[in-house]
Amino acid sequence: MTRFALTVEFDGTPFFGLQRQDNGPSVQQSIEDAAQRVTGERVTLHSAGRTDSGVHALAMRSHLDIEKKFEPFRLMEALNAHLRPEPVAITHCEVKPEDWHARFSCTGRSYEYRIRNRRAPLTLEKGRAWHIARPLNAEAMHDAAQALVGRHDFTTFRSAHCQAAEPVKTLDRLDVSREGDAVIIRAGARSFLHHQVRSMVGCLALVGQGQWSVSQVGEALKARDRAALGLNAPPHGLYFVAARYADDTQENSQ
C-alpha cells in the first residue's frame, strides 16, 4: 500500500463542498471515482480541510492509499484524464510515509477571500468573488481585523452546525489589502471553525462600508454569541490557498 499526497485545485461552483455528500456532487466523490477507474480499487480521499458549497481551492492537500504500483506523475496524469471535464485538477502528486496524514499532520491552513469593489457587474469573476458596489475602506477593515488575531473564543463567528469540540482557536493572521478594485482578506491559522472566515469577512465588510465602527468587530467577538454576528459573507469569494506541514518543502504549502 502506497500513500500518495495530492495537491488539488478546484472550482467549487458545481459542488456541494469538498467532503462527500448524500445530496449532491462533491470534489471527494469526483476524485475517488476517478481513482477507482484508474486503479480498480475503492479508495478514500482525506483532505487538510473542508469546504462549503461554492468555495474554491488553489492548493488543497489530500491523500489516498493505493495498492497498485504507480509512479506519482503517472498517477497524477491518469487522475486528471478521468476527472475531465469537471473543474478539478491534481497539480502535484508525491509519495508520503504511511504515518503522514493530510488532515492530522497539517500544522497550518491559509484562506483568501476576494472582494471586487466596483460599480460595474462582474463578468470573468462572476461566482469567484464577492461583488460589493459601495466603496470599501480597506484600511479600516484591516484595523478592525486585528482585534480577531490571537487566541479567542470565536463563538460569534462559528456556524450553528460547526462540529468542532470547542470554539477557541488561535488566529495567526487576518490581513486586508486593496489591489486596484480588489479587496483581499488573507487568513491563517492551524485550523478554523465552520464558517469562521466567511463570518469574519462579513463583519469586516460592514466596517468597510461604514455600517459598523472599527471597534464593533472586537465587541462582536467578546459577545461570544452568534446573534451578534453582523453578516456571513457568501461562499463564492472564498479560496483554500495552502496547507502547511512540518516536513514539507512544496512551494504551495507555505
Q: N- to C-terminal Cα distance for the chain?
A: 28
CATH number at residue 88: 3.30.70.580
- Answer yes or no: do 199 and 163 share one domain: yes
Q: Is residue 150 part of a domain?
A: yes
Q: Which of 139, 116, 127, 111 is nearest to 197 (CA)?
A: 111
Active site residues per annotation: 52
CATH number at residue 212: 3.30.70.660
- Answer yes or no: do 84 and 132 share one domain: no
User: For the whole model, what pTM was predicted?
Assistant: 0.93
**Cβ atoms of 88 and 13 closer than 8 Å:** no
Q: Looking at the 3D structure of the chain, how many domains does it have?
A: 2
- Answer yes or no: do 114 and 20 share one domain: no
Per-residue pLDDT of the chain (254 residues; tens, 9 = 90+): 999 999 999 999 999 999 998 889 999 999 999 999 999 999 999 999 989 999 999 999 999 999 999 999 999 999 999 999 999 999 999 999 999 999 999 999 999 999 999 999 999 999 999 999 999 999 999 999 999 999 999 999 998 888 788 999 999 999 999 999 999 999 999 999 999 999 999 999 999 999 999 999 999 999 999 999 989 999 999 999 999 999 775 544 43
- Answer yes or no: do 99 and 133 share one domain: no
What confidence score (pLDDT) does residue 253 get? Answer: 41
| For residue 85, cis peptide bond before it (omega within 30 degrees of 0) | yes
The sign of the torsion formed by the CA atoms of 35, 36, 38, 40 equals: positive
- Answer yes or no: do 188 and 145 share one domain: yes
Q: Is residue 253 part of a domain?
A: no
- Answer yes or no: do 124 and 238 share one domain: yes
How far apart are alpha carbons 80 and 19 in whole angstroms? 19
What confidence score (pLDDT) does residue 163 get? Answer: 77
- Answer yes or no: do 46 and 157 share one domain: no
Q: Is residue 6 part of a domain?
A: yes
- Answer yes or no: do 78 and 135 share one domain: no
Strands 130-132 and 106-117: parallel
- Answer yes or no: do 47 and 130 share one domain: no
Q: Is residue 128 part of a domain?
A: yes
Q: Is residue 247 part of a domain?
A: no
How far apart are alpha carbons 58 and 72 in whole angstroms? 20
- Answer yes or no: do 123 and 209 share one domain: yes
How far apart are alpha carbons 54 and 178 in whole angstroms? 24
* Cα pseudo-dihedral 12, 16, 18, 23, rounded to 10: -160
Give backbone dihedrals phi and psi of 10, rounded to 5 degrees, phi first: -155, 150
How far apart are alpha carbons 243 and 110 in whole angstroms? 6
- Segments forming the whole domain that contains residue 55: 2-104
**Cβ atoms of 136 and 114 closer than 8 Å:** no
Q: Is residue 77 part of a domain?
A: yes
At 182, list the grid cell.
Answer: 480588489
Write down which residue in 104, 120, 144 finishes a domain. Answer: 104
How far apart are alpha carbons 92 and 171 in whole angstroms? 28
- Answer yes or no: do 68 and 189 share one domain: no
What confidence score (pLDDT) does residue 165 get? Answer: 84
The sign of the torsion formed by the CA atoms of 206, 183, 59, 15 equals: positive
How far apart are alpha carbons 126 and 39 in whole angstroms? 37
Identify the residue whose cell numbers are 466596517: 207
Q: What angle do CA 116, 9, 232 make, to 5 degrees?
A: 40
Q: Is residue 97 part of a domain?
A: yes
Write down which residue in 104, 123, 145 finishes a domain. Answer: 104
Q: Is residue 250 part of a domain?
A: no
Write down which residue in 70, 104, 138 finishes a domain. Answer: 104
Q: What is the b/e burial string over 4-21, where b = at least 16 CB atoms within 10 angstroms of the residue's CB?
A: bbbbbbbbbebbbbbbbe
> Kind and range of the H or E element at 140?
helix 138-145
> Kind and range of the H or E element at 147?
none
- Answer yes or no: do 88 and 153 share one domain: no
